[in-house]
Amino acid sequence: MNFKLNRKGFSVLIMLSLIACTVKPPPSMSFASTVESLKPHLKFFKPEGAPPFKTVIYIPGLTERGWNKFYDDHMNKITQHGYAVIALNYNSAHGLSSTSIRIGGFLPHYGAGDIYAVFEIAKQTEWVDKDKIVLWGFSYGGGLIWDSLVLAGPGMRPGGLLDRPNSVLGGLKGVVVRSPFCMNDFLGVKVTAAASGNFFLKPPMLVVIGGNDQIVNQTLCNQIVSKNDKNGAPIELVRYDKAGHSFFVQNSSNSGKKIDHYDQALARKSDAKIFEFLGKALN
């Protein structure tokens, strides 16, 4: 059988092969130790006014340093709407570059434990309204959040955690994922728990997907949304047919140049939809 493999397909094949060959589990830690280890790698943003604040826990996508100016600007935009933000830089937290993560150094079903830990930190933070917390993830961060909902079930535990509380993400009011990372298991390696499992926790959820996203497995993403919707999860799916993966990001974090598929109109439309959802979820 003859077939042609383009450069993107070849790159994906190489990446998958590297994942299968090099993936290593994270160091095993207790839940309490995980909470303490993440504290130095959190960023806090507070709106004007008096606490307690309705709070967004933000999990970013992959960048080489784990954080950049876009995220600072984005967090400030969220605070302008009256929400506090606690954001996790998981690159620095685990001492990994984005390249290391891409070849299997920190798979989403491992990172689900980080979501539980940051949520616990939010609950312990004096100025956070403990009853009004949402999760918001972009790309890889969205994949971590989805897996945290799957692995919250009884008897389940993210990789790397020696233990976890019987109940996690208690009181979570909503979830936003934009351009979520989706990938099936490969050569026996579990990449994302959401690929095969269903959400155990079913908070109100907004999923924003670009129809021209060349980064994620769109078919799988749609399947994850569909099967969980049929399983009773209250999911609203918003699809922008012409949008690419980072359609709302204006400039590349690496070169500073405008991203080819940046779409100002869709970016504003997407933001408006998300803030409308947050207003309802945190009412």
For the segment 63-104, what is each residue's pLDDT rounded down to a tens digit? Answer: 777 788 889 999 999 999 999 999 999 988 888 888 888 777
Q: Which carries the bigger pLDDT value, residue 159 or residue 120? A: 120
What pTM, to 2 d.p., does this model score?
0.90
Q: What is the pLDDT of residues 100-126, one digit of tens each?
A: 887 777 888 888 999 999 999 999 999
3-state percent helix, strand, coil for the chain, nearest multiple of 5: 40, 20, 40
Q: What is the pLDDT of residues 230-244, one digit of tens each?
A: 999 999 999 999 999
User: At which residue do the structure tokens 């990001």 appear?
Assistant: 249
- Provide the terminal-to-terminal Cα distance of the chain, rounded to the nearest Å: 58
pLDDT band at 10 (very low <50, low <70, confident <90, very high): very low
In the DSSP assignment, the letter for residue 199 is: P
pLDDT band at 25 (very low <50, low <70, confident <90, very high): low
**What tokens does 143 get?**
């994949």
